[in-house]
């Protein structure tokens, strides 16, 4: 695919990824051993969330909207869960949407970048807004996953020992607080254990499920879609309401696409078809078989299915807790990844992003996101307290995210890859019908907690769109005062200001123009350095830009040099590194005698502001609290000179 440049003047940041690193999916591996290693890694990271769904899905099918554990309902529920896994996860994500990659990378923002390339006009704007809505809703969903997963795992304590029921919330909070507190140290050290632990988890899921299936083999008939259809159409009200809980079986499917860049499509596909899917199906069948034999087990069929008494159940609680921590870690890391992509693509202001590993790319930590997520998760656990309460808020936002992914992906299939309409429309219609049915069913939770992730998503949507709009207005205002570089150089020839030794690097929002910092330096200090580098950082609509294609160097007269440094939306902008690279490519520059000039812009409200007053105030608040450009672009503090300016927005 050909990269599409971002609008000129995009000066933004990306995830801190070491320049020498490459995604795991692109590293050379030793044949089958390497393929197995990638598949094992995918099992740990990609399928952690969906792999822990058996902890609560079947239980909530029968308890969230009370449903009698009759054979019709049990067979129908298992059938609906199985075909949801086939339709949504296997067909849509694993076999189709994984093909909608942006140079090997996936995720909602990868789709947004592709849409920017292949669609024009108002339709493009509308689809980008759909993508931003999906990204916004991700935050609402992200705060629920750690809460419901960990609480569901720890709730197994009351099965092993009913006297511990009162300790579920405190234990869950301790685990969650510890998980978020450890984020600043990174997951590189323990991340290698995720795959083996999840392999054990899936093996245990398959084992305890198979044991029950062998005791009641007729449950295998539930794999027929006729049982699910009979339940849905025979009891429309009960069947429709149950879809809200059935949907929980596929939560986490969006990670399949979002994490594609780390493992690659083949590894993710192998891990699903060979391990995750069979284990999940066997476990859901086993839970169904147990409920048929012992209807009272609907209170917690997963843990009651564990053989071996209290000791084995306690061991399962420990293993389930570890598995849910891994699933939560994937969601937290996903929140970091989405945030850095939003920053780089210009939908969020610059914020502090830290490396947690110099060796592993993608290992980042965003303090603001981390602590906001922790506060939200702790609040959810304290308010809802049990899996049933948390499930009342879970699913509304995620089902909407699924639908946005489908809409954007099939637009890319049609508009970018020119797939025929007869192929695209039926496929999109089938998946959207399924996902909109899930969304409609989850809307029943709206007033019992489902409003919360939607409200969080709405807040983020307002923030993202306000920043994008305000930033465009700010750049337009700044550019209106820009002088063409050619005219400025001609003026220097006529007026001949004092030229001082050394190199000055000015961050410029647009190539070929004079940044305000350069003009102000001349006006106030009456000097121009012997060498002046005008550096423009642009974001391109690809995840990564290779180092050899990063710089475009354009020499000018009188010691002026224009440099355009291009980065992908998952690369890390580093201004001093760009200057060092220019030096290696032949530019004569004394790095020890180099100063970096940046604008320190103070915003003031304009009398005829293009945005509503409240949005203008929000944009100004975000701008004032964004990370300073010098720190974000990794410029040494002792080499920075800031030039102030007022801009009306």
Q: What is the pLDDT of residues 489-532, one digit of tens each?
A: 888 888 888 888 989 999 887 788 888 888 888 888 888 999 99
CA distance 244 to 438: 6
Element counts in the chain: helices (H) and strands (E): 29, 10
The more confident residue out of 102 and 18 is: 102
Least confident of 128-137, 420-429, 572-581, 594-603: 594-603
Full DSSP string of 585-604: TT----GGGEEEEEEEEEEE
Report yes or no: 267 and 41 within 8 Å, Cβ to Cβ.
Answer: yes
Residue 31 has pLDDT above 80, yes or no: no
Residue 16 has pLDDT above 60, yes or no: no
Averaged over 560-581, what is the pLDDT? 89
In the prediction, which pLDDT does 202 show? Answer: 96
Stretch (H or E) spanning 561: strand 560-567
Averaged over 462-467, what is the pLDDT? 94
Nearest alpha-carbon partner for 435 in 164, 246, 641: 246
Report yes or no: 209 and 287 within 8 Å, Cβ to Cβ.
Answer: yes
In the prediction, which pLDDT does 335 show? Answer: 86
Residue 1 has pLDDT above 60, yes or no: no
State both tokens at 277.
Answer: 């899917």
169, burial (CB in 10 Å: exposed 0-12, middle 13-18, buried 19+): middle
Least confident of 8-22, 84-98, 405-419: 8-22
Residue 240 has pLDDT above 90, yes or no: yes
Q: Mean pLDDT, the chain, as a whole number?
A: 85
Averaged over 106-133, what is the pLDDT? 89
Local structure of 573: helix, strand or coil: coil
In the prediction, which pLDDT does 204 show? Answer: 96
State both tokens at 506.
Answer: 């000015």
CA distance 34 to 27: 9
Averaged over 205-227, what is the pLDDT? 95
Residue with tokens 């995604």: 23
Give the global pTM.
0.84
Averaged over 438-455, what is the pLDDT? 89
Q: How confident is the model at residue 190 (pLDDT cuts 50, 70, 90)?
A: low
CA distance 275 to 197: 13
Least confident of 171-180, 252-261, 629-638: 252-261
CA distance 368 to 182: 14
Q: How confident is the model at residue 450 (pLDDT cuts 50, 70, 90)?
A: confident
Give the chain's radius of gyration (CA, Å): 27
330-339 pLDDT tens trace: 888 888 888 8
Q: List b or e across 281-290, with b for residues whose CB sees 16 or more CB atoms inside 10 angstroms.
A: bbbbbbbbbb
CA distance 565 to 573: 8
Nearest alpha-carbon partner for 395 in 88, 70, 112, 47: 88
Nearest alpha-carbon partner for 136 in 467, 439, 446, 389: 467
Nearest alpha-carbon partner for 14 in 262, 360, 260, 361: 361
Residue 2 has pLDDT above 90, yes or no: no
Give the CA distances from residue 358 to residues 17, 188, 268, 601, in Å, rounded to whole numbers and listed in that order: 8, 10, 25, 33
CA distance 623 to 219: 59
Rounded to 5 degrees, what angle do the CA atoms 209, 257, 329 make? 65
Phi, psi of 506 (to 5 degrees): -110, 125
Residue 10 has pLDDT above 80, yes or no: no
In the prediction, which pLDDT does 481 show? Answer: 61
In the prediction, which pLDDT does 358 show? Answer: 60
Walk me through the domains of the chain, giving residue ranges and CATH numbers.
39-449 (1.20.1740.10), 477-648 (no CATH)
In the prediction, which pLDDT does 74 show? Answer: 95
CA distance 459 to 411: 27
Q: How confident is the model at residue 51 (pLDDT cuts 50, 70, 90)?
A: very high
pLDDT over 70 for what percent of the chain? 92
CA distance 480 to 196: 58
In the prediction, which pLDDT does 17 show? Answer: 33
CA distance 328 to 136: 18
């Amino acid at each position: 695919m050909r990269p599409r440049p971002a609008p000129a003047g995009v000066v933004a940041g990306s995830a801190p990824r070491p320049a020498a690193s490459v995604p795991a999916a692109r590293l050379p591996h030793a044949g089958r051993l390497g393929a197995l290693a990638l598949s094992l890694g995918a099992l740990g990271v990609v399928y952690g969330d969906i792999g822990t769904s058996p902890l609560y899905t079947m239980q909530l099918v029968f308890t969230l909207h009370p449903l009698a554990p009759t054979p019709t309902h049990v067979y129908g529920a298992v059938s609906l869960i199985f075909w949801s896994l086939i339709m949504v996860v296997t067909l849509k994500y694993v076999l189709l949407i994984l093909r909608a990659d942006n140079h090997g990378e996936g995720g909602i923002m990868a789709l947004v970048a592709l849409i920017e390339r292949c669609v024009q006009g108002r339709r493009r704007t509308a689809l980008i807004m759909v993508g931003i809505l999906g990204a916004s809703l991700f935050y609402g969903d992200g705060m629920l996953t750690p809460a419901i997963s960990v609480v569901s795992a720890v709730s197994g304590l009351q099965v092993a020992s009913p006297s511990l029921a009162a300790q579920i919330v405190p234990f869950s909070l301790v685990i969650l607080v510890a998980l978020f507190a450890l984020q600043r140290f990174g997951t590189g050290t323990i991340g290698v254990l995720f795959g083996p632990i999840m392999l054990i988890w899936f093996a245990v899921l398959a084992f305890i499920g198979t044991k029950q299936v062998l005791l009641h083999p007729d449950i295998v008939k539930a794999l027929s879609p006729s049982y699910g259809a009979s339940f849905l159409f025979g009891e429309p009200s009960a069947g429709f309401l149950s879809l809200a809980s059935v949907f929980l079986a596929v939560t986490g499917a969006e990670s399949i696409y979002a994490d594609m860049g780390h493992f690659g499509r083949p590894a993710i596909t192998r891990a699903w078809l060979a391990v995750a899917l069979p284990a999940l199906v066997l476990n859901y069948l086993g839970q169904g078989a147990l409920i048929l034999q012992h209807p009272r087990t609907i209170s917690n069929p997963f843990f009651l299915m564990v053989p071996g008494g209290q000791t084995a159940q306690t061991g399962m609680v420990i293993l389930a807790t570890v598995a849910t921590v891994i699933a939560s870690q994937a969601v937290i890391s996903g929140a970091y990844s989405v945030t850095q992509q939003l920053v780089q693509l210009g939908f969020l202001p610059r914020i502090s992003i830290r490396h947690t590993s110099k060796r592993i790319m993608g290992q980042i930590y965003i303090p603001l996101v981390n602590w906001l997520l922790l506060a939200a998760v702790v609040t959810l656990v304290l308010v809802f307290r049990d899996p049933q309460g948390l499930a009342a808020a879970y699913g509304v936002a995620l089902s909407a995210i699924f639908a946005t992914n489908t809409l954007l992906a099939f637009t890319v299939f049609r508009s970018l890859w020119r797939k025929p309409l007869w192929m695209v429309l039926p496929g999109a219609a089938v998946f959207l019908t399924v996902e909109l049915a899930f969304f409609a069913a989850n809307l029943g939770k709206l007033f019992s907690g489902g409003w919360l992730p939607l409200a969080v998503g709405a807040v983020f949507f307002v923030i993202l769109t306000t920043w994008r709009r305000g930033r465009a207005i700010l750049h337009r205002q700044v550019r209106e005062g820009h002088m063409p570089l050619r005219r400025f150089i001609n003026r220097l020839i006529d007026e001949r200001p004092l030229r001082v030794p050394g190199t000055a690097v000015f961050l410029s929002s647009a190539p070929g123009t004079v940044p305000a910092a350069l003009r102000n330096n001349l006006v106030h200090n009456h000097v121009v350095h012997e060498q002046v580098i005008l550096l423009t950082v642009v974001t391109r609509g690809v995840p990564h830009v290779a180092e050899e294609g990063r710089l475009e160097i354009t020499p000018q007269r009188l010691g002026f040099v224009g440099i355009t440094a291009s980065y992908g939306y998952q690369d890390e902008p580093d201004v001093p590194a760009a200057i060092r690279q220019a030096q290696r490519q032949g530019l004569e520059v004394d790095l020890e005698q180099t100063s970096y000039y940046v604008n320190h812009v103070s915003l003031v409200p304009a009398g005829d502001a293009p945005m509503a007053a409240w949005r203008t105030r929000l944009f100004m608040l975000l701008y004032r609290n964004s990370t300073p450009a010098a720190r974000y672009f990794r410029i040494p503090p002792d080499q920075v000179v800031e030039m102030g300016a007022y801009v009306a927005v």
